């Protein structure tokens, strides 16, 4: 049996196409972009590979170029709690990098993915020199705060359809995940991992949302038809619970 090297030992320089998928590079001035591009690395993650592990010191600010990741933690009983799925275009962990603290969550690949990393020192250099980068990070923090507040409220409910709707709405957030567009490439099993439900129950919830005209289930993915309606139905269900 051949043991694959750790993910950080598989890092490489990004291709031009991979750099084109990084949403914050366009906000940088030429000198800032040159510094950032020189320091960005990418790696090809396999399913179950861990990018971040609880308790490990921060090293990079990470982003998803291709694929799908899962952010999770553990409760007092040792049970796994999924905080968020991370589809293409999403960059995460800026709060941890800002404070240079140990990771409080695990980040794991759910499928073969291409992930990018900006070293923590370069992240702080950009904060010190780039107004555009500061604005991007501030917007990230604001959007993520709203996402986690909504997740905390709805996770207290037992309604499976609501859990699926909440996760889909979060994954279609254009500010946090600009690489998704109108179609999210995700299998029902991957969505089940994120939601914490069985594949069968996720299938039922997707069918219900499709009947309501919120989404269209396509081969290999989900197309959002009414994102605002999806969010509104979530709030209505939350108020009625």
Q: Which residues pair with 69 in a beta bridge?
A: 86, 109
Residues ≥6 apart with Cβ < 8 Å to 122:
35, 36, 39
User: Could you state, in order of their start, the residue ranges of all structural domains in the chain?
Assistant: 7-151, 157-240
User: Which stretches of the chain are DSSP H helices?
Assistant: 16-20, 30-39, 94-99, 120-129, 131-155, 160-171, 188-195, 199-211, 227-240
* Domain 157-240 listed as CATH 1.10.10.10: yes
- What is the token pair recorded at 73? 């933690």
205 backbone φψ class: left, alpha, beta (φ>0; ψ -120 to 50): alpha
CB neighbourhood size of 14 (10 A): 19
**Tens-of-pLDDT digits for all 241 residues of the chain?**
556 777 878 889 999 999 999 999 999 999 999 999 999 999 999 999 999 999 999 999 999 999 999 998 877 677 777 888 899 999 999 999 999 999 999 999 999 999 999 999 999 999 999 999 999 999 999 888 877 766 666 566 567 888 888 888 889 888 899 988 888 999 999 999 888 889 999 999 999 999 989 999 998 899 989 888 777 765 444 444 4
Q: CA-CA distance, 164 to 160, in Å (whole number)?
A: 6
pTM: 0.84
Q: Which CATH number fits domain 7-151: 2.40.170.20, 2.60.120.10, 3.10.28.10, 3.20.20.80?
A: 2.60.120.10
């Amino acid at each position: 049996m051949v043991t694959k090297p750790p993910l950080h030992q598989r890092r490489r320089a990004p291709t031009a196409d991979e750099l084109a998928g990084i949403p914050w590079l366009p906000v940088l001035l030429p000198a800032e972009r040159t510094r950032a591009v020189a320091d960005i690395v990418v790696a090809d993650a396999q399913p179950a590979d861990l990018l971040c592990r609880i308790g490990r010191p921060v090293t990079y600010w990470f982003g998803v170029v291709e694929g799908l990741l899962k952010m999770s933690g553990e409760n007092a009983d040792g049970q796994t709690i999924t905080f968020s799925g991370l589809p293409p275009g999403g960059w995460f962990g800026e709060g941890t990098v800002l404070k240079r603290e140990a990771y409080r969550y695990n980040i794991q690949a759910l499928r073969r993915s291409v992930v990018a990393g900006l070293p923590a020192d370069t992240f702080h250099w950009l904060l010190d020199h780039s107004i555009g980068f500061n604005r991007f990070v501030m917007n990230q923090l604001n959007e993520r705060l709203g996402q986690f507040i909504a997740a905390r409220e709805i996770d207290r409910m037992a309604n499976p359809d609501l859990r699926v709707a909440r996760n889909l709405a979060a994954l279609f957030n254009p500010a946090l995940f600009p690489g998704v567009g109108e179609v999210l490439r995700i299998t029902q099993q991957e969505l089940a991992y994120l939601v914490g439900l069985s594949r069968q129950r996720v299938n039922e919830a997707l069918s219900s949302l499709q009947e309501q005209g919120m989404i269209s289930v396509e081969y290999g993915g989900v197309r959002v038809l009414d994102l605002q309606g999806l969010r509104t139905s979530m709030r209505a269900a939350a108020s009625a619970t």
